[in-house]
A and B are shown apart, each in its own frame.
Chain A
Amino acid sequence: MDEVEQTNVEQNDVLDVGYTDVPGTMLTDSNAIADFLKKTKIQDVLNWGRKNSLWFMVNAMGCCGVELLATGMAHYDTDRFGIIPRNSPRHADVLIISGYVTKKYLPALKRVWDQMPAPKWVICFGDCAISGGPFYESYSTHQNVDDIFPVDVFVPGCPPRCEALIQGFVELQKKIEAKKDKGTDY
């Protein structure tokens, strides 16, 4: 499926204030500040804060959704890593694609992804999100999800155990600390 509706929810244009210079000051915008900070040591402190509190979005789509729910609750506790489930896309940092994505559901998922504020990451959980899983021949599922979303971590299994999802989060934390992740522009 090639045509996915683009909803540009985040607008980062420069404000037109009516004058271009004020004596004694320098005018800039948040994009330029972020680009400048990426080259300094302050970025390491920001990354340390971001990786230790990754809030994920609860959307349970398939069989892996049950393991997602069981990981966030008692016994396989993820709260000790700073990871808690949130219901609204505006509060979340990580989108976990847990299950197959069908042609009918893909525009809704893209709209949820567009509403999440940057920085944001994607984890593919389960075989169905990686390549279609046991339904790779089906006429109604979208097999390659990483054409549309910038995926950082793939967790294989059908379904993977809860400990595998915790290891997936730990790998994402290592990637953020080494500054090699594909999270969208800060």
Chain B
Amino acid sequence: MDANSIISSLTGKFPEDIYDAEIESDIRTIAKVKPENVVEVCRYLKEDLSFGHLCCEFGVDYPDRNEIEVIYVIGSYEHPVILTMKALLPRDNPEIESVVPVYWNANWYERETYELFGVKYLNHPDLKPLVLPEEMLGEWPLRKDYAGFPNKTARNLV
């Protein structure tokens, strides 16, 4: 189970959904995925290629390309290869399917990406804010054009 065989079996099974697959070293691989079929790809990864450990899932904001990327970093308990999958979404209305039916601990990662970037997850069991107070929902603080940062109210600075 090394990086070459993983990438070739993945591109062989999903020829239209996976594109731009690369191998960076013998334990790091990267690929881009179309946002419509993310759940199918994740199910194949978990059951056939034994990638059963979701390390994290988060978003990156690119205002000059007018896109928000959602990145999945998936590892395994049996072999040391890590796969990084990226899904590109339009910036004005980002929506993607939730992978909670496949990876159980994606629940909190998706709640946090929703409240910090504004990415809507369809069919999520319980999409509500995790770390921000309820009044701050809708401000999407981690986008690059957020007006409330840096905060200049501190007074007793030396």
Which residue of chain B is the closest to A106 with respect to CB atoms?
B133
In the complex, chain A residues 122-164 whose Cβ is within 8 Å of any chain B Cβ: 130-132, 136-141, 143-144, 146
Q: Is the CB of B156 within 8 A of A131?
A: yes
Q: Is B151 touching A138 in the complex (CB atoms < 8 A)?
A: yes
Asked if A80 is an interface residue, CB under 8 A from chain B, the answer is: no
Q: A103-B133, A104-B133, A140-B132 are in contact. Are A132 and B154 (CB under 8 A)?
A: yes
Asked whether B155 is an interface residue with its Cβ less than 8 Å from the other chain, the reply is yes
Residues of B within 8 A of A104 (CB): 132-133
Q: How far is the CB of B144 from chain A (nearest CB, A)?
A: 14
Contact A143 B154 (CB under 8 A): yes
Q: SS class of chain A's interface: helix, strand, loop or mixed?
A: loop
- A contact residues vs B (CB 8 Å cutoff): 103-104, 130-132, 136-141, 143-144, 146
B contact set with A: CB distance below 8 Å: 132-133, 135-136, 141, 146, 148-157
Q: Identify 9 new A-B residue pairs, CB closer than 8 A, beyond the known A132-B157, A139-B149, A143-B151.
A: A104-B132, A131-B155, A131-B156, A136-B151, A136-B157, A137-B150, A137-B152, A139-B141, A143-B153
